[in-house]
Amino acid sequence: MQKKGNKYGTHRVIEPKGVLPQPADKIDNNMDEIYDNEILIDVKTLNVDSASFTDIKARAGGDHEKIKEIMFSIVEKQGKHRNPWTGSGGMLMGVVEKIGDALKGKIDLKEGDKIATLVSLSLTPLRIDKIKEIRPDVDQVDIDGKAILFESGIYAKIPTDMPEKLALSALDVAGAPAQTAKLCKPGDIVLIIGAGGKSGMLCCYEAKKRVGVTGKVIGMTHSPKSTERLQKLGFCDYVFAGSATNPVETMEKLGAFTNGEMADVTINCVNIENTEMTSILCTKDTGMVYFFSMATSFTRAALGAEGVGSDVTMIVGNGYTRGHAEITLELLRESEKLRKIFTELYA
């Protein structure tokens, strides 16, 4: 008979006791037996959070063997893949191997289903047996391994009408375009920082749908390649390149596009630190900043806004909002341009 587990997975926490799996320093990643409310997954691919993978890649000097060493070390110490320097994780794709007795018949999954987990690797019990391939351009790592999804964990079945890796790349950032759909309204000026990246492109498309002909979508990019890519997609009214760590220069560039009005909504999708003030200064006093970036510092954002006398509303980038998986996959079905570029880059 299987042991009874806690809905949120606290039964897997080793230390410190009394905390949830995400902030825990170490969790139990023994997969020999599962609890009655767990789903055992045969893991195929880890989609590491962009901020986390960028950090690991830099620490390894781009060397694949060193990347492997760092990843093995993280999981060995913690029982999960939570980057100790960024605190972020990612998500995974795999096949349902076993469903706990308490969940059988209560969820829409069966053994053999291919799923993507929509909860962070920073709280997911994970065992890596072998790292087979590293794809640094798309933050994906193919492995042999096992993982546990808790009863409270959310997931999406991999759709049959698109390649698995394509679906995984979009589901990894599903919260961003879904939140964009909620935040943007007709007539808004929307600034997307990191607009040429994976989450940024999806947000640009969704924002343009929401603001309509009376609104403006402005995309800020970093590299010449991402700038050209975003211009060709045609989702933005204006595209400009710059450094998101230079707030005054960015604010001046945006002011020129908006006749000094600034943005009603700013969506920050970058994967580097020190971009909080750029987001704040580019947003109207009554506006809203959505920090999807996992490199965001709450302290820098809060004290920075206070320091410049800005009354913006700031939203922490919760990667979950109701229906986010369905909304995001639908964007790839809706837009031929999006699907084509995502297929080229990520699939």
What's the whole-number mean pLDDT along residues 304-310? Answer: 96
CATH for the 175-346 domain, from 3.40.50.720, 3.60.150.10, 3.30.70.20, 3.40.50.2000? 3.40.50.720
- Is the pLDDT higher at 172 or at 213? 213
Token couple for 228:
């050209």
Tens digit of pLDDT for each residue in 39-75? 999 999 999 998 899 999 999 999 999 999 999 999 9
- ∠ CA 69-30-40, nearest 5°, is 100
Which residue in 276, 252, 257 sits closest to 266, CA to CA? 276
Percent helix, strand, coil in the chain, to 5, is 35, 25, 40
Q: What is the pLDDT of residue 36?
A: 97
Q: What is the pLDDT of residue 172?
A: 87
- ∠ CA 242-248-250, nearest 5°, is 30
Please, is 43 exposed, middle or buried when counting C-beta atoms within 10 Å of its C-beta (0-12, 13-18, 19+)? buried
Q: What is the pLDDT of residue 155?
A: 95
Q: What is the pLDDT of residue 275?
A: 97
Tens digit of pLDDT for each residue in 123-177? 999 999 999 999 998 899 999 999 999 999 999 999 999 999 899 989 989 999 9
What's the whole-number mean pLDDT along residues 191-200? Answer: 96
Would you give the distance in Å from CA 333 to the centre of its chain?
20
Q: What is the pLDDT of residue 1?
A: 85
Q: What is the pLDDT of residue 347?
A: 77
Pair 111, 96: CB distance under 8 Å: yes
Predicted structure pTM score: 0.87
Q: What is the pLDDT of residue 239?
A: 97
| Domains of the chain by residue range | 10-158, 175-346
- ∠ CA 198-115-86, nearest 5°, is 45
The mean pLDDT value of the chain amounts to 95
Q: What is the pLDDT of residue 220?
A: 98
Helical (H) or strand (E) element with 13: strand 13-15
Point out which residues pair with 190 in neighbouring strands. Answer: 217, 265
Cα separation of 310 and 226, whole Å? 30
Which residue in 292, 69, 61, 79 sits closest to 172, CA to CA? 292
